[in-house]
Amino acid sequence: TSNAMWGGRFSAGPDAIMEAINASIDFDKRLARQDIEGSRAHAAMLAAQGIITDKDAEAIREGLLTVLSEIEAGDFQFSKALEDIHMNVEARLKEIIGEPAGRLHTARSRNDQVAVDFRLWVRDQCDAVDGALEALMKALIGQAEAAADWVMPGFTHLQTAQPVTWGHHMLAYVEMLNRDRSRFADARKRMNESPLGGAALAGTGFNIDRHMTAEALGFDRPSANSLDSTSDRDFALEFLAAASICAMHLSRFAEELVIWSSAQFRFVVMSDQWSTGSSIMPQKKNPDAAELIRAKIGRIFGANVALMTVMKGLPLTYSKDMQEDKEQVFDAADNLMLSLAAMTGMVETMAPQRENLRKSAASGFSTATDLADWLVRELGMPFRDAHHVTGALVAMAEGKGCDLPDLTIEDMKSVHDNINEGVFDVLTVEASVMSRQSYGGTSPVQVKKQIARWKELLA
């Protein structure tokens, strides 16, 4: 049998495999609510412009609400033969209200319809991600506040660098996640133009009011070029790009949690709720959630690359290639939301280990820079010379198998005669972090200021 929508021109129905490759209903049914919202706005506008009667518009409105409630209740028969969500909804509307259903698609095409639906969906996701990011930021700030001045090692190259504070480390991620938020907000702003009324590609001869539908759907304005707005998917790409960067941040933090929760580091203890055991090794407590979050960047960035590759080289305007946009974005959005929720749960429940953090911070000659700075400040040495003297002291401590504060004053003087007892004041990890008072530095005073700033911003 030929198609109910375009059967006029066709005498045969599609091959089964044609249907399998062509139908998108299995995934685009997630656009049902947006599709119905868009159709309601369109029908109301058609009536306001006298293009359809108020009576028909009312029937369409009521019918669409019935369709929506059927879909939301889970008793809607989706049909592959009807290809996609747009035609499934319209066909069901026809069954419910009859003839007026056929007037809904006046001055519209599936090309502007899907562009509207998908924009609305991605816009909602920007809002959802924003809320999830805020929750994670609050969890991190909670951790920062609970142990703001606990000392831990700061690394470069994953080698001991200088002592830092736990609060400072937590807030580093707050900064990153806040930039992620602003990237989503920015993308949301740019995508918030209504393509509805672009019709197939060229606009329409009917006297429609695109400002009315734009406003009804919460868009800032109608798009200014129908060719552009029925065929661009850069809004989805911006979402995926922001999601990729955000997932990259989560992946880095996840990696740190994996390292920190190992028996060799023991910087944090993850809660049982967010860990798994081993079927053979009874002692195991594995950070699987962190590992999975670390991995999610693979599919999220993969989606970004996939859609970018789909879109490159497509001539204007719509091509069916663009149907491949949705699964990528759905999958990336779902996995980003899941990662954010899991990370929030882990952060809320993890317990930093003060003694282990401190002990680790004090190892590896972490206050060598403080020693060199002392030589500059107290003895007036050029920094390059101070670096050299300190290096010799580190080598001496290494030879003796001790840390810098364990060297005697005689040891110190044997390398440089002018060194005095005062030097020991700067060799503790507490003194080290306390001294780093520069704006944005790791000193507890600075960190507490930043915590206060964030709490105010997120209040």
157 belongs to the catalytic site: yes
Q: Report yes or no: 243 and 332 within 8 Å, Cβ to Cβ.
A: yes
Binding mask 78-97 for ligand ARG (x = CB under 6 A): ------x-------------
- Residue 438 annotated as catalytic: no
Q: Using CB under 6 A, pick the residue from 322, 375, 389, 397 that binds ligand ARG.
A: 322
Rounded Cα distance, 14 and 245, in Å: 42
Taking CB under 6 A as the binding criterion, the range among 96-104, 108-116, 226-234, 377-385 that sits at the site for ligand ARG is 108-116
From the list 92, 108, 110, 119, which residue makes contact with ligand ARG (rule: CB under 6 A)? 110
Is 91 within 8 Å of 4 (Cβ atoms)? yes
| From candidates 34, 231, 323, 344, binder to ligand ARG by CB under 6 A | 323
Does the footprint of ligand ARG cover residue 261 (CB under 6 A)?
Answer: no
Q: How far is CA 245 from CA 23, 187, 253, 296, 333, in A?
A: 32, 13, 13, 12, 13
Helix and strand numbers, DSSP H then E, in the chain: 18, 6
Q: Least distance (Å) from ligand ARG to the CB of residue 446?
A: 51
The catalytic residue among 2, 69, 79, 278 is: 278
Q: Say whether residue 166 binds ligand ARG (CB under 6 A).
A: no
Catalytic residue among 11, 157, 279, 438: 157
Q: Where are the alpha helices (DSSP H) in 261-382?
A: 288-311, 325-349, 354-362, 368-379
If the CB atoms of residues 3 and 356 are measured against ligand ARG, the closer one turns out to be 3
CA dihedral 195, 199, 203, 204 (to 10 degrees): -130
- Number of residues in contact with ligand ARG, rule: CB under 6 A? 10
Here the tokens at position 77 are 């028969």
Report d(CA 289, CA 284) in Å as an integer.
15
Q: Which is nearer to ligand ARG, 28 or 180 (CB)?
A: 28
Least distance to ligand ARG, CB of residue 23, Å: 8
d(CA 190, CA 405): 56
Closest approach of ligand ARG to the CB of residue 197, in Å: 16
Minimum separation from the CB atom of position 84 to ligand ARG (A): 4
What would the two tokens of residue 304 be?
Answer: 């970004």
Window 180 to 239, contacts with ligand ARG (CB under 6 A):
none
Q: Does 114 bind ligand ARG (CB under 6 A)?
A: yes
How big, in percent rounded to 5, are the helix, strand and coil portions of the chain?
Answer: 65, 5, 30
In DSSP terms, which residues pair with 194 in a beta bridge? 222
Judged by CB under 6 A, does residue 39 bind ligand ARG? Answer: no
Q: What is each CA distance from 325 to 225, 234, 449, in whole angstroms? A: 21, 10, 44
Taking the least distance from each CB to ligand ARG, the nearer of 28 and 370 is 28
Stretch that binds ligand ARG, among 48-56, 145-153, 206-214, 318-326 (CB under 6 A): 318-326
Selected from 173, 184, 267, 318, the binder of ligand ARG by CB under 6 A is 318
Q: Using an 8 Å Cβ cutoff, are 98 and 216 in contact? A: no
320 token code pair: 């069916």
Which residues participate in catalysis according to the annotation?
Answer: 157, 278
* Residues lying near ligand ARG in the complex (CB under 6 A): 24, 28, 84, 110-111, 114, 318, 320, 322-323
